[in-house]
Structure formats: C-alpha cells, structure tokens
Amino acid sequence: MISLPLLLFVLLFSALLLCPSSSDDDGDAAGDELALLSFKSSLLYQGGQSLASWNTSGHGQHCTWVGVVCGRRRRRHPHRVVKLLLRSSNLSGIISPSLGNLSFLRELDLGDNYFSGEIPPELCRLSRLQLLELSDNSIQGSIPAAIGACTKLTSLDLSHNQLRGMIPREIGASLKHLSNLYLHKNGLSGEIPSALGNLTSLQEFDLSFNRLSGAIPSSLGQLSSLLNMNLGQNNLSGMIPNSIWNLSSLRAFCVSENKLGGMIPTNAFKTLHLLEVIYMGTNRFHGKIPASVANASHLTRLQIDGNLFSGIITSGFGRLRNLTELYLWRNLFQTREQEDWGFISDLTNCSKLQTLNLGENNLGGVLPNSFSNLSTSLSFLALHLNKITGSIPQDIGNLIGLQHLYLCNNNFRGSLPSSLGRLKNLGILLAYENNLSGSIPLAIGNLTELNILLLGTNKFSGWIPYTLSNLTNLLSLGLSTNNLSGPIPSELFNIQTLSIMINVSKNNLEGSIPQEIGHLKNLVEFHAESNRLSGKIPNTLGDCQLLRHLYLQNNLLSGSIPSALGQLKGLETLDLSSNNLSGQIPTSLADITMLHSLNLSFNSFVGEVPTM
C-alpha cells in the first residue's frame, strides 16, 4: 500500500519529468520576441508587406503582430506565443530554427507560402505543439526523426513540398495523439513504417503522390478511427492485407496507381459498409468484383479501372442509391449471355449515376434495352473497345443528360437511332469502327452542343445530312470509310468552329469541293481523298491559313493547282496524286517551308517541278 504523500510525490516527480522545465525557464516573453524577429530576418525582404506590422517592440508588443497569438495573461508566463498563423502570406526564405525557441507554441501554420530549405530539427523541441502545418511550400530534405518529440501533435501536414527520404518510424512510435497525417505530394521513398499502425487516433491519412514502395503494412488495419486512407500514386506492391478490410469507420479508400495485386475477398466490403469512395484503379488486382460491394450502401464512386478484374459484372449495384461514378473500364469483364447484362437494369435504380465507363473490356452480345432506362443524370457513357453486337438501343435518346457517348470499336449493327437527336447536351459522339449502316439521321443536326462527331469506318450510306450545318460548335468531323454518296454539302463550311479536322475520305462523294471551304480559317486537316470528287481545286483553299494537312488524292480533280496554295505557310502534307490535274506546278509551292510530304504523281503536269 503506497501512502498518499508518497503517491503525490511520485505524481509530481513524474510530471516534472514529462514537462521538461528547461524550455519553460530559459524562454520568456523577450525570448519569444527575439525568436520572432530572428524568424523575420531570415525571410526574403523580411517578409515584405505581410510582416510590416512586426515593427514594435518590448512589453509584449509582439503579441499584437499579425499572425502572432499569445496566451492569456498569466502571472508566470505573460506574453508567451501560443500560435503563429501565417498561412498564405507570400513569405519566402527558410524557416528559421529560432522558432524552436517559442516553447509555448501550440499551433504553427506556415502553409501556402514559398518557404524553401529544410525543416529545422529545432522545431522538434516544441513539446506543446499540436498543429504543424507546412503544406504547399518548397521545403526540401527529409522529415527529421526528432519530430517524434512533438508528442502532443494532433495534426501534421507536410504535403505539397519536395521532401525526400523515408517516413520516420518515430511518427508512428511517438505521436500517439495524431489524428491527421498529410504527407502527400512529396518525393518520399522507402516502405511505409509499420509503426504507423500505432496511431490509433488517426482519422485522415494521406501518403499519395510519393515514391513509397514495398507492401502495405498489415498494422494499418489497427487504425480503427480512420476515415480517409489515401496511398494512391506510389510504387506499392503485394496484396492488400486482410486487416485493412476491418477498418469499419473508413469513408474513403484510395490505392490507385500502384503495383498492388491479388484478389479482393468476397466479404471485403461487409465491414467497410460506410465507404463512400473506393479508388483502386491502375493496379494488378484480379478476380471478381466482390459481391459485398452491395453492402457499401453509401458508395458514390467506384473506380477499379486498369486492372485484371474478370468475370461477369456484379449485380447488386441497385442498392447503392447514391452511386454517381462507376469506372470499370480497362479490365477483362465479360458478358456472353443476355443475362450477363443484368447489372444494367440494376443500375437503373441508381438515380444519381453520372458516369458509367465500361470501355476496353470483353463485353459481347447485344445491349439490353434497359440501357435507355439509366438515370437521366448520366452524362458520361463509354462502351468503346468491346465486342458488342446488335443495334444501339432505339431509346438511347432517353438519356438526355449525356455529354459523352463512346460506342466506337465494337460490332454495332443497324442504323443510328434518330432518338439521338434528343441528346441536346451531347458534346462528343464516337461511333467509329462498327458495322453501322443506313443513312446518318437528319436528327443529328439537333445536337447543337456537339464538338466531336466521329462516325468513320462503318457502312453508312446516303448523303451527308445537310442538317450538319446546324452543329455550330463542331471542332472535328469524321465520316471517313463509309459508303456515303452525293456532294459535300457546302453548308458544312459555314461551321466557323470546324478546326481540328474534317475527314470525308474513302466514300463515294461526287461533285466539286465547294468554294466555301475558304470560310474555315482555322481548319488544320482536310481529308477528302479516295472519292469521286471532280472539278477544280478551289483557290479559296488558300484562305484556310492554318491548314497543315491536305489530302485530295484518288479523285477526279482537274485543272491546274491554284497558286493560292502557296499561301498556306503551315502546310506540311499535300497529296494531290492520282487525279486529272494538269498545267504547270505553281512555283509558289516552293515557298512553303514546312512542307515535308508532297505527292503530285499520277497527274498530267507539264514543265518543271519547282525545287523545294
């Protein structure tokens, strides 16, 4: 039995040991002022305008300076600095070691400035420090191991700097109260210290965008208060330790862009039922999507693209009422039987769905009509690079929120549904490399927000619809390699925005190249080769001042080459071969210094070929 006086003595003695008295005694208010002035003098231009108020002195005047907060007046320690808050203050220079003398400091915020140099180890003398915030600077060197002495730290933010070296294990071993640890966007390397698993108060944990390697320590599964874990954009390998699937408070889990592999256990998300975002993209995970994903009923984003996931896509998404983004592209998912597409009718329950990316998988068979029952908030739908056959659902026009529709590189048949004309917000329509046929619907002229329309390499026939002239925001038009006939509609060249490319090559187009092409002052590429175009090359082509590539070969063009082509100072490619052109080759072509590919063969020119 210990006597009361002895117990008191023991408590007092240990309190003295815990609070090293040295820093309390040899620092005082005047010392704080000196330390601040020394900090100021180590800054470029003495901190400039931001620290202009740091000009008075004595009698605790420093407590009135901008960014300086002193403790409440107390007899023993008046005028001691407890906070130094100089975020976004346009400060450059080094962080002076003198700050280590502010022994009563609890919060140091120098974030979003231009500090360079290293973290002074003297800061680690600040045993009362709870918040250390140095993010968004250009701080170099490594994280001092002595940081472990700041045992009261609850928030450590060193993100967005140029720190190198390993994460000191002392952070895990000593900073028991840490609830936020932000070390992202640095150049940290080596392994994640398993000691970090001892930070049981940790809620926010971000190590993303570093060069960390090795495995994820299974000790991280002890971080039972964790809300956000971000280990993305590193070089981590191995499997996700099973203990991680025990982190029941987790809201966000990100390990994208690493070299992680293995399968995700079927039950993985049963315990992690509070997850709102899962980012596991660009790794080497394989196996199926775990059925338990349906248990994560708060899920808003699931990103598992760029892995080796296979099999049939899980049903059960229908329970995820808040799902907005589903990125499954670039995997090995399959659909063979019609019921394998069942997940789509499930997804029709997700009324907030905005993004569905299923591109670059092994999806086959025919799209179910339930596609047209997906949410009208869907703005991004990608099915490109699969093996899908059959026709595009007739009612696809129901998805009136669509801005991007990628159907290219499949085996779609039949015609483009004219309901597409209802997609008033569509900006990009990619349907090239399919087996689509019939005529291009007139209703496409309703898509006035369209920027990019690529329908090449299909079996479209009929005329190029004159309604295209209503696409007044079009930047790029691709209709190549189809069976289109009739003339190139001259109205097309009233679309002032057409700039990236017009490609109508490899069709059966007839008639002449309209004079109006000269209206397209910003056009860079014009492909009209391999058609049956006749008549003269319009000299207005000389007005297309930004033209770099002009392909008109394999047509029936006649007359001579207009010398106006010599005005196209940026022209790099000119192919007029295999036409019925004649006359002299204009000497002006020799003025085009950029021209490095010129083909005039199989025509009937006379006279000299100008020297280029």
Please identify, using beta-carbon distances, which residue of 195 and 565 lies nearer to ligand NAG: 195
Tell me: does residue 262 bind ligand NAG (CB under 6 A). Answer: no
What is the DSSP code (8-state) at residue 170? H
Tell me: does residue 295 bind ligand NAG (CB under 6 A). Answer: yes
Tell me: does residue 346 bind ligand NAG (CB under 6 A). Answer: yes
Instruction: Name the segment binding ligand NAG (CB under 6 A); options: 33-41, 142-150, 331-339, 454-462.
Output: 33-41
> Buried b vs exposed e over 87-97: b needs ≥16 C-beta within 10 Å?
eebebebebbb
Instruction: Name the segment binding ligand NAG (CB under 6 A); options: 318-326, 408-416, 501-509, 574-582.
Output: 318-326
How far is CA 573 from each of CA 107, 144, 393, 593, 594, rounded to the nearest angstrom? 63, 58, 41, 11, 9
Tell me: does residue 237 bind ligand NAG (CB under 6 A). Answer: yes
Please identify, using beta-carbon distances, which residue of 128 and 527 lies nearer to ligand NAG: 128
What is the distance between the alpha carbons of residues 272 and 250, in angstroms, rounded to a whole number? 6
Tell me: does residue 249 bind ligand NAG (CB under 6 A). Answer: no
What is the distance between the alpha carbons of residues 80 and 474, in angstroms, rounded to a whole number? 65
Please identify, using beta-carbon distances, which residue of 295 and 379 lies nearer to ligand NAG: 295
Whole-number minimum distance, CB 224 to ligand NAG, in Å? 9
Burial class (CB in 10 A: 0-12, 13-18, 19+), 510: middle
Whole-number minimum distance, CB 389 to ligand NAG, in Å? 18
Whole-number minimum distance, CB 492 to ligand NAG, in Å? 11
What is the distance between the alpha carbons of residues 448 and 425, in angstroms, rounded to a whole number? 8
**Binding-site member from 140, 345, 473, 490 for ligand NAG (CB under 6 A):** 345
Tell me: does residue 398 bind ligand NAG (CB under 6 A). Answer: no
Burial class (CB in 10 A: 0-12, 13-18, 19+), 218: middle
Q: How far apart are the first and last CA of the chain?
A: 106
**Binding-site member from 184, 301, 404, 422 for ligand NAG (CB under 6 A):** 422
Place of tokens 């009563």: 104
Residues 51 to 80: which contact ligand NAG by CB under 6 A? 52-53, 55
3-state secondary structure (DSSP) of residue 234: coil
DSSP 252-285: EEE--SSEEEEEPPTTHHHH-TT--EEE--SSEE
**Binding-site member from 34, 69, 94, 166 for ligand NAG (CB under 6 A):** 34
Whole-number minimum distance, CB 227 to ligand NAG, in Å? 15
Residues 144 to 203: which contact ligand NAG by CB under 6 A? 172-173, 194-195, 198
Whole-number minimum distance, CB 154 to ligand NAG, in Å? 18
**11 Cβ partners below 8 Å, 6+ apart?**
none
What is the distance between the alpha carbons of residues 127 and 18, in angstroms, rounded to a whole number? 10
Tell me: does residue 90 bind ligand NAG (CB under 6 A). Answer: yes
Instruction: Give the helix/strand (H/E) hosting 598.
Output: strand 597-599
Residue nearest to ligand NAG (CB): 318
User: How far, rounded to the nearest angstrom, does the alpha carbon of residue 71 sit from its chain's CA centroid?
Assistant: 44
**Binding-site member from 69, 239, 442, 600 for ligand NAG (CB under 6 A):** 442
Q: Measuring CA to CA, which residue among 136, 85, 86 is closest to residue 114?
A: 136
Tell me: does residue 490 bind ligand NAG (CB under 6 A). Answer: no
User: How many residues belong to the site for ligand NAG (CB under 6 A)?
Assistant: 55
Tell me: does residue 211 bind ligand NAG (CB under 6 A). Answer: yes
Please identify, using beta-carbon distances, which residue of 378 and 385 lies nearer to ligand NAG: 378
Please identify, using beta-carbon distances, which residue of 420 and 565 lies nearer to ligand NAG: 420
The two structure tokens encoding residue 612: 């280029």
**Furthest CA-CA distance within the chain:** 120
Interacting residues toward ligand NAG by CB under 6 A: 26, 31, 34-35, 38, 44-45, 48-49, 52-53, 55, 90, 92, 98, 101, 172-173, 194-195, 198, 211, 213, 221, 235, 237, 242-243, 246, 270, 292, 294-295, 297-298, 316, 318-319, 321-322, 345-346, 349, 369-370, 373, 421-422, 442-443, 445-446, 466-467, 470
